[in-house]
Structure 1
Amino acid sequence: MGVSGCGKSEVGMRLAQTLGARFIEGDRFHPMENVAKMSAGVPLSDADRQGWLQALRAEIEHAWDAGEQVVLACSALKRAYRDILRGDSGAVRFVHLHGERGLIAQRMAARAGHFMPQSLLDSQLRDLEPLQRDEGGMTLDLRQSPSMLVEHVVASLKNEYL
């Protein structure tokens, strides 16, 4: 979880590969209306995100029903959004990739072909509710390499489930 440009997709793909899990890119589940709004520099509302979050939760459940582990890259900016993703099971763990605005803006400026403009970074940072202790997860510094971030997550999972 985290704002656009923090490295969710890269870290998520690497983590899924390390765990032998299915990777879900949350951005691919946005309806066209959401993508059009963001592309035009218009922040999404809570209402805009409802269907998207419910679709992601359904995808998590589908994977679990198939006996798959899953890693999802999703902004999950607010606790209410994370509550939807978590569902009743409590089995979802979050990794908040956190960092300074300047570094995230640099990363956003350097990437090509993404629908999320850098102009929406400040609205995402305003909406961001940091991961709370009772939510199940961890906050990591995005300045670390993706490989190091994956190592931290794997070590934490081993400690939690052994």
Structure 2
Amino acid sequence: MSLVTLLPFIVLIGAMILMTRSAKKKQQAAVDMRNQMQPGSGVRTIGGMYATVKEVNEDTVLLDAGPGVDLLFAKNAIGAVLTDDEYNRIVHGIEHDLKSDIVPDDASSLTETDDAAGSAAASDETSVDLGKKDADEKPSDDEAVEAKAEEPKKTDGDSDAK
């Protein structure tokens, strides 16, 4: 047999060895993660349920899923052990220490100095023109549209030229 005919088999065996090693590493990482569980840890099951670890046994975990709801799961059913911040963010909606990342809706507070903000607050007396017209001035666009709608419509038989 020549080397050319053996080369595909060698490549295939090498790929299988690499995939097996990768799968074993992932499996060992999952086992290590599950061994880190302690009572009080927040977890997510492989089914997507979030709960707090109440008790850890050799093959099982007792989870507190809510007031008066204790569930017994196999250790292998735990998909992830979460940090306290991540668990509180997901389950309780509590953002921890993110106030420095909040961007205000109005960007002017980022560019205005304290003196400018104080003078703007003091000058509340200035009026703002919102485009409203007085009643004795030219009618507004809405009024013009209403007046045109009230005019009688001409038909093909009517003629302006006499």
TM range, smaller chain: under 0.3
- RCO higher in structure (CA 8 A, sep ≥6): 1
Structure with the bigger percentage of strand: 2
Normalized against structure 1, the TM-score is what?
A: 0.19
Structure with the bigger percentage of helix: 1
